[in-house]
Amino acid sequence: ESSHLTMARSLLCLVALVTSVDGLVSHSLNTRVVRDTRASTTLNMKLFDWKRREADESAFATVDSVVFTEDNLRPAPGSKQKKKRKGRGISAGQGATCGFGMRGQKSRAGRPARPGFEGGQQPLYRRIPKLRGRPLGPGHKRVIYNPIKLDVLNAAAEGSTVTIESLLEQKALTKSTKVPLNKIVGGGELTAKGLTVQMHAFTASAREAIEGNGGSCVVISPTTGAPVTEE
């Protein structure tokens, strides 16, 4: 009976040994499969922006080799950033004082200084020279004239010379000292013929009407009043 018990115990030990060896082999095989799977996934991992910035993509991502379409356009790495959430804790880097510091004029509520203020020194808008007057007024590019309509010239006699002084003498005009320059403009109907009109400027329609009635237009100098030869 003792021999039978010994044989039974040895058989049980052998079966347990075979089972343990089989489990160890299967576990090692599963581990290899997992490791191989992980190794294959690392090759297909996401390429982050900071890696793309340092990578050399000139071999396949040049302007000549890539055709840009709506589906492959994307911003440069690092150019698109999330909105900074200020005042949401010190761990974010912009909490508490929100990046404005603890003291000083620029940390207070409201606008720290008015536009153009340079801390008390002479600001730029006071250091540069100025061109006085209105931007399109006298002294600038625009010249302002006192307009005189065509029908005012009907007070002059036919074949006479018309000046601003002669019109004032005939009381066809009232004296205007605000604008020293005078210009004949279209307006009304010109009936006088053969007039020689001496003024600082003429419009195209006024010149055509005067010359159509046998007259002539003479441009005078704004400073001396002498006739100016037109080139």
Per-residue pLDDT tens over the stretch 100-131: 989 998 899 988 899 999 999 999 999 998 87
Catalogue the E-assigned strands of the chain.
146-149, 161-162, 182-185, 196-199, 201-202, 216-219
Rounded to the nearest angstrom, the gap between the alpha carbon of residue 42 and the centroid of all alpha carbons in its chain is: 46
Residue 46, Cβ density class (10 Å: 0-12 exposed, 13-18 middle, ≥19 buried): exposed
Higher-confidence position of 6 and 50: 6
pLDDT band at 36 (very low <50, low <70, confident <90, very high): very low
Residue 38 tokens read as 């992980």
pLDDT band at 72 (very low <50, low <70, confident <90, very high): confident
Question: For residue 209, what pLDDT is reported?
Answer: 92
Predicted model pTM: 0.43
Q: Which amino acid is at 118?
A: E
Per-residue pLDDT tens over the stretch 8-22: 777 777 776 766 655
* Lowest mean per-residue pLDDT among 43-47, 50-54, 153-157: 43-47
| 44 pLDDT more than 60 | no
Tell me which DSSP letter residue 151 carries. Answer: G
Per-residue pLDDT tens over the stretch 145-168: 899 999 899 888 888 999 998 998
| 230 pLDDT more than 70 | no
From residue 164, give the alpha-carbon distance in Å to each of 111, 173, 216: 58, 8, 16
Would you list the DSSP string of 2-23?
HHHHHHHHHHHHHHHHHHHHHH
Q: Report the alpha-carbon distance of residue 212 to residue 75 in Å, rounded.
A: 69
Q: What mean pLDDT comes out for the span 91-101?
A: 86
Would you list the DSSP string of 96-120?
TTTTS-SSSGGGSSS-SS-TT--TT
**Pairing verdict, β 196-199 and 161-162:** parallel
Q: Report the alpha-carbon distance of residue 60 to residue 65 in Å, rounded.
A: 7
